[in-house]
Amino acid sequence: MKKNYVINPAFIVSCICLFSIALWGCQKEQQANDVKVTETETVTTSKAEKESQKASPPAELTGEVGGVPIHLTYSQPAVRNREIWGQLVPYGEVWRTGANEANIIRFEKDVWIEGQKLGAGTYTLFTLPDEKQWTVIFNKETEDQWGAYNYQPESDALRVTVTPQRQDKITERLTFSIDTTNKLIFQWEKLRFDLTLEEAR
């Protein structure tokens, strides 16, 4: 005798509900995984940016030298057991005197630098290192200067010559500073040079 099977509508509704719940759960799990991936990528990018900044962090120097208010922005590479002079920083080539963008220095008044006059204003600060003497360059082109790649000598406002000194103590990060004897001081590795500044009256 053939049996007739009748499907209960309530059973069908229950199956549909269970399927919907299962599908919703899968979607939520996928969304959670997507969020985790995004967070991981963000954290990784953030760490990479921080490490990049740590390699040569930005620095600022603001003060008064020889009666002239100055402001200098630069980056601070580290020695990290590298041979610097003549190797990492070649002799006879214009150097950004730091890392990343070219250094920017602003003088609020006309100034004598190593006995030579420079008008008040904003300049890029480059150097031309050599074994015995360095040339310090103040250049009028301050826009879009990454390193010394766009350096144009015809835009030089002033060049002065300094004699670097060797020190016993190492300065791990490139540093500019000022002192009470009207000097702007550069130090990195075991090398130092000074620039004597005085207001041009």
d(CA 131, CA 92): 9
Range in 62-66, 142-146, 174-178, 187-191 the model is least confident about: 142-146
DSSP state of 155: G
Indicate whether 45 pLDDT > 50: no
Q: Which band of pLDDT confidence, cut at 50, 70 and 90, is reported for residue 53?
A: low
Across 8-17, 23-32, 159-168, which has the greatest mean pLDDT?
159-168
Q: Which residues contact 150 (CB under 8 A, 6 or more apart)?
A: 141, 144
pTM listed for this prediction: 0.72
Residue-wise over 91-116: b if at least 16 C-beta within 10 A, else e? eeebbbbbbbbbbbbebeeebbbbee
Residue range 24-38, pLDDT digits in tens: 555 655 555 554 444
Residue range 56-71, pLDDT digits in tens: 899 999 999 999 999 9
